[in-house]
Amino acid sequence: MSAITLGVGASHSTLMNTHWDKVVHTERAAAFRDSLQHVNRRLRELNPDVAVIIGSNHFRGFWLDLIPSFTMGVGDVIASGESGTPKGPQKTDPVFANQLATHLVEAGSEVAISARLQIDHGQSHAIQYLLDGIDIPVVPLVVNVFAQPLPTIERCATLGRRLADAIEANAEGRKVVVIASGGLSHQLPWPSDWSNPQDDDEEFMVDAWLNGRGEWERYDKRRREIIVAAQPCIFEDFDAQFLADLEAGDLEKYTELSTPELEKIAGNGGQELRTWLVMAAALGFAPGSSLCYSPMPEWLTGMGAALIEPAGGDA
């Protein structure tokens, strides 16, 4: 029987790679970086066999021509390599990944599969920092958090519970770490309704989302200019409460929120917290430990990191 040995939640931002020299809140940035290094050391101690990385995709592997609610990489996994993140093929375990996908589908969570999945920093940021020097296969699980309509938060929690069952059903005795990449609160300069862009920038973004398949790099320069020019919008009170609820083992209540309700209190980028809730559900919504919270307007995001030990573990 395989088992989850640790749950991890960590924010991501490519601006951490490209704009470190422009950071004003240096101590906050260093604290977040140090929290990622703490997780890396913890994972080295645990010596897991495989990492399931739950994250988003920022229109480098999925486009508006086809975006499933949930997609699991069950074959080749290719990282885009944008903004200094890992690039190229990643180590995988197709047999294990297919077993997870099959179990999830048979349990009623219809995950799409990809035998050649292109990931971006929605997963590769975790590979770069959390799995640095840890040579284990990754199983990406992509959650649609950007193209409306989004999967309900309750459905994401159900996916997490069934993911835990799927891991436990594997008879090979794997030690599995479940990593959630994304959040915390932030507001991205993206159209709220991709079918009705409001200005030139939004029209460009929709064009990139719809026509970027196979040539996302053609759009990347202007995309990045639009993002870097955005005004930061971080909901610090929400982030503090979310991490406090994680520590108390009380994240399940967030499954009652609708998509508009979550956006109102955490921004459109806060929809990425679905990944944390999938992870937390896989850990049985056990109490966890918050390692860091750094509101980083320079990176447009409330940056946080946390651990959840399996029930009976010691955080």
Q: Where residue 129 sits, what CATH number does that domain have?
A: 3.40.830.10
Q: Please check whether residue 214 lies inside any domain of the structure.
A: no
Q: Please check whether residue 207 lies inside any domain of the structure.
A: no
Domain total of the chain? 1
**What is the percent of the chain with per-residue pLDDT over 90, rounded to a whole number?**
83
Q: Which amino acid is at 137?
A: P
Contact 86/128 with Cβ under 8 angstroms? yes
DSSP 8-state class, residue 108: T
Which whole number is the average pLDDT over 249-276? 97
DSSP 8-state class, residue 295: E
| pLDDT over 50 (residue 236) | yes
State the pLDDT confidence band at 314, using cuts at 50, 70 and 90.
very low
Contact 16/299 with Cβ under 8 angstroms? yes
| pLDDT over 70 (residue 313) | no
Phi then psi for residue 269, to 5 deg, are: -70, -20
Q: Please check whether residue 219 lies inside any domain of the structure.
A: no
Which whole number is the average pLDDT over 7-27? 94
By mean pLDDT, which of 17-21, 44-48, 93-97, 172-176 is the weakest? Answer: 17-21
| Domain that residue 69 falls in | 3-188+230-308
With left for phi above 0 and alpha for psi between -120 and 50, is residue 69 left, alpha or beta? alpha
CA dihedral 79, 213, 275, 5 (to 10 degrees): -30
Q: Please check whether residue 149 lies inside any domain of the structure.
A: yes
Which whole number is the average pLDDT over 164-177? 96
pLDDT score of 166: 98
The two structure tokens encoding residue 186? 């932030």
Q: Please check whether residue 200 lies inside any domain of the structure.
A: no
Q: Please give the helix or strand (H or E) that residue 161 lies within, else none.
A: helix 153-169
For 104-124, what is each residue's pLDDT tens digit? Answer: 999 999 999 999 999 999 999
DSSP 8-state class, residue 39: H
Tell which residue, 121, 143, 145, 147, has the closest CA to residue 65: 147
Q: Please check whether residue 16 lies inside any domain of the structure.
A: yes
pLDDT score of 315: 42
Q: Please check whether residue 215 lies inside any domain of the structure.
A: no
